[in-house]
Amino acid sequence: MDQIYDQENADGNLLSANPGEEIYLKGIEGKGLIGRLAALGLLPGIKLKMIRKRRHGPVLILVQKTRIALGRDIAQRVLIGREAT
């Protein structure tokens, strides 16, 4: 599987979220990435919170009670929505 997503309800990728914003994971694009992120608890429909996003470097998100740093190349392949479905 190369991608899983609810593209119809996606508002953009993880890089479009602002620090402090609560968002929902709508999908993941990329072969091999789906399993890696699922192992970290990143599954479609889960609530995330953007903790830190700077111009350069990784983004920091909160998934349940765990902080996860993702490189910008990976973050741009994570689709998000601002509403739960």
Give residue limits of the domains in the chain: 3-81
CATH dotted code for 3-81? 2.30.30.90
pLDDT of 5 above 80: no
The 3-state DSSP class for residue 15 equals: helix
Q: Which residue in 69, 67, 4 sits closest to 38, CA to CA?
A: 4
What is the pTM (predicted TM-score) of this model? 0.86
Which pLDDT belongs to residue 44?
A: 87
Bridge partners of residue 24, in order along the sequence: 47, 81
pLDDT of 1 above 90: no
pLDDT digits (tens, 9 = 90+) for 33-68: 988 999 999 998 999 999 999 989 999 999 999 999
Bridge partners of residue 14, in order along the sequence: none
Contact criterion met (CB below 8 Å) for 23 and 63 = no
Average the pLDDT over 4-18 and give the result: 80
Give buried/exposed letters for 18-40 (b at 16+ CB in 10 A, else e). eeeeebbbbbbbeeebbeebeee
